[in-house]
Amino acid sequence: MTSQNRRGSGLVVLALAGLALAVLPWLMFWQQLPANLPSHFGLDGRPDGWMSREALFAVILVFDLVGAIGLVTLAMRAHRMMVAPATLTGFLAGFFLGLGIGMGMASAIPGLGALNTSAAGALGPIVVVATSLLVGAIAARLAQASARKPRRDDASPPAPALTLAPGERAVWTGSASQPLWWALGGALIVGGVLALILTREFWGWLLIVVGLGIGATFARIRVQADHTGLTVRYTALAWPSTHIRLRSIQRATPIDVIPSQWGGWGYRGTVLVAGLAAVVVRKGPGLRLDLTDGRVFVVTVDDPEGAAAVLNAEVARRPGSGGEPASGEE
């Protein structure tokens, strides 16, 4: 089983099974489908845009193929990739495939989503979200199993630690900023305003909200490391924030974050579903947390050495800790 996973065959099976599952509802219900299907819904849940069933099938098939091709490509390359990027890529490709499966089910299965505008139609979005996350999670785990395991002789980067006397406490605060996020948010807002003016559709508002949200989240993050663990706070949001409890942390290491290795910019992955999450606002120095259950969390932050030093020191003096011995002391 291990060697099979190393060849990524699980991912290929997932891709083929996913494609089959994506096409199945269409095959089963094609005769019963009307010539035109809703392809766009207004704010009240009633459809206000239609496509021919052929066109809708084709559009959704594109999602299926993007996801499936992504999984197959990953299957061929995973054994040469490190665990983190492989897991994230698997999650993304699986998510796309799951999205296509869910949309196909919501569109083609009578009563599930698109054909009814009554309460039964509410199931549609739930199905889409559920299938996306589920297939994403499965793909992430398969990719994780297929990726290159760190070899015993891979040099472990040094994990700095402070020496803290029993009565001593330390708190480290830092930040990472990338003003371009405001520019991106601004562009989306402008696009949304244009969309509202030109088309009067609700997704103009969506663009504006997303634009505001992106700028308000990633333009400048603040990071605090102390005895409670690590906390990441987002630019203009008091909530949500990201908190990793100290007891979940095994080891903190300063690293250089190259966004492509961590799935790109923004909030990548999910610790819950993909076993790995990264907050990447810019390229450059960052902090990597290896958690006690094997999961990994990364956050870009300036001068991460201090944060790592505090966390490793607190981990080391945690009662009953099996914390990593520090390789350097301050």
Select the span of 70-78, 135-143, 223-231, 316-324 touching other proteins (CB under 8 A).
Answer: 223-231
For residue 310, state whether it binds other proteins (rule: CB under 8 A).
yes
Q: Which two tokens stand for residue 222?
A: 């603040």
From the number of C-beta atoms within 10 Å of its C-beta (0-12, 13-18, 19+), residue 6 rates as middle
| Least distance in angstroms from the C-beta of 284 to other proteins | 18
Q: What are the beta bridge partners of residue 287?
A: 254, 299
Select the span of 14-22, 78-86, 136-144, 305-313 touching other proteins (CB under 8 A).
Answer: 305-313
Q: Of 18, 85, 100, 174, which lies in the binding site for other proteins, with binding defined by CB under 8 A? A: 174
For residue 55, state whether it binds other proteins (rule: CB under 8 A).
no
For residue 163, state whether it binds other proteins (rule: CB under 8 A).
no
Q: Which two tokens stand for residue 132?
A: 């996306």
Phi, psi values for residue 244, rounded to 5°: -110, 115
From the number of C-beta atoms within 10 Å of its C-beta (0-12, 13-18, 19+), residue 262 rates as buried
Q: Where are the alpha helices (DSSP H) in 30-122?
A: 53-77, 83-108
Phi, psi values for residue 89, rounded to 5°: -65, -40
Nearest to 117 by CA among 49, 56, 47: 47
For residue 242, state whether it binds other proteins (rule: CB under 8 A).
no
Nearest to 236 by CA among 303, 284, 177, 286: 177
Q: Of 169, 190, 237, 328, which lies in the binding site for other proteins, with binding defined by CB under 8 A? A: 169
Q: Of 43, 171, 206, 272, which lies in the binding site for other proteins, with binding defined by CB under 8 A? A: 171
For residue 172, state whether it binds other proteins (rule: CB under 8 A).
yes
For residue 236, state whether it binds other proteins (rule: CB under 8 A).
no
In the complex with other proteins, which residue's Cβ is closer, 296 or 311?
A: 311
Please report, for residues 151, 159, 225, 231, 312, the alpha-carbon distance to residue 323 in angstroms, rounded to integers and kept in the order given: 21, 11, 16, 20, 8
For residue 283, state whether it binds other proteins (rule: CB under 8 A).
no
For residue 228, state whether it binds other proteins (rule: CB under 8 A).
yes
Q: Of 134, 170, 210, 316, which lies in the binding site for other proteins, with binding defined by CB under 8 A? A: 170
For residue 234, state whether it binds other proteins (rule: CB under 8 A).
no
In the complex with other proteins, which residue's Cβ is closer, 77 or 318?
A: 318
Contact residues for other proteins (CB under 8 A)?
162, 164-174, 222, 224, 226-228, 231, 306, 309-310
